[in-house]
Structure 1
Amino acid sequence: MKLSDIRPNLGANKRHKRVGRGPGSGHGKTAGRGHKGQKSRSGGVKNPARFEGGRSTLLMRLPKRGMKGQSHGELKRVEYQVVNLGAIAKHFTSGEVGPEALAQAGLVRPGYPVKVLAMGQAAGLKIHAHKFSQAAIEKLKAAGGEAVVLEEA
């Protein structure tokens, strides 16, 4: 057996049907599409999965709710990384703590604004964050610490 002897299996390579090439072909005139109607015309059904026979699609009939932003897409929300005072107190005992230090300790993901919440016991730390809950500020002051609000980028 040589490379030139190799042939595809019988029936594996089938010629495509040439339609609309006159009455002698057997697929002339209507070209196998029947008579009239949407499916016989060029263009036909654009998206068969969503198509409902010409009536208004389900997607169009459902009520649209929610706020739309000034630009296309959803409203942009600031996604804060939250961290509790108790978690900060476990990792840090004294000094100043900022978002970079919190990210290095694995308490928050880097690159996001940080919000400090009041759960747990507070240590006397000076904490730099983008936002604080009111209870967290009060707990920090009671423990002899300080809450420093950072400007958002």
Structure 2
Amino acid sequence: MTRVAQFGSPFMLGFDEVERLLDRVTKASGEAYPPYNVEQVEGEDGLHLCITLAVAGFSAAELDVSVEDKQLVIRGRQEEDANRTFLHRGIAARQFQRAFVLADGMEVIGADLANGLLSIRLHRPEPSKVVKQIEIATRA
């Protein structure tokens, strides 16, 4: 069953945004650099996630972490040093952008750079169960 058929169901009302998010994730899934881990960590205030990216060679000034349109976006940009002459260049100065789609309510707590690893901590609040009683109006 295709996604169009799934989201075209009369029982799936208002899921247009979910379909757009799935398309965004599908397009970003082909990225391979930099490699990363996603860990689930239990914290005092509930469930936390930690995304760790291998960014060896990048300084904190060359990295940018932001939340844009329900996405966690990590960018890295290294500047070329024109004063250096390489006899062999096996380590390229490269730039990257990696994005992770965030669920509603996900909060980025902070980011740390140590030993070539950028760790970004996120908090995932426990979803609350909402029950709303709808009054039925009668018409004569």
Larger gyration radius, structure 1 or structure 2: 1
Q: TM-score, normalised by structure 2?
A: 0.20
Point out the structure with the larger strand share.
2
Higher helix content, 1 or 2: 1
Calculate the TM-score normalised by the size of structure 1: 0.19
Structure scoring higher RCO (CA < 8 A, sep ≥ 6) equals 2
